[in-house]
Structure 1
């Protein structure tokens, strides 16, 4: 999965006032590199997969809340996904 492609898709789909799309895209890339999603679902993690699942989150959720909501569901069903979550107070400058 291309991190920059995902970042652009996240910005387009969900907006991004605080530049958190880059943070979520980085975590998604780390998740893809870990191959945990691939092992659990016998499918590779794609930009489309991430965007589709984040769209399922409650409408009033921010991008980070959507990402953490989806990872929470994955963690409940399969375990081991919490490490890819994003803290809401993340510093986007580092």
Structure 2
């Protein structure tokens, strides 16, 4: 997972503040490093894939809320994704 590329893509796609992007990038990196997504989805977790999945979330959600929405979907489908949810972040 190229976290620099993910941060750039999140900024372009969602115009999210740096703190919100930072927490999502950190969680995405942890998810990629775990191999959980690769094992369940049969594909590498890439910046493009993260942005694509986050775009599916309701439009009125912040970036961290979009991330949690996606992690909730993966939790329902496969289990084992609750640990990647964002528990707390600060709006800037």
TM-score clears 0.5 = yes
Q: How many residues align?
A: 91
Moved over 6 A (4+): none
2:85 aligned partner: 85
State the structure with bigger RCO (CA 8 A, min sep 6), 1 or 2. 2
Aligned 8 A contact 2:20 2:90 in 1: no
Gaps of 5+ in 2: none
TM-score by length of 2: 0.92
How far residue 14 of structure 1 moved from its aligned partner, in angstroms, is 0.7
RMSD: 1.4
How far residue 18 of structure 1 moved from its aligned partner, in angstroms, is 5.5
Gaps of 5+ in 1: none
Do residues 28 (structure 1) and 5 (structure 2) align? no
* SS in structure 2 at match of 1:19: helix
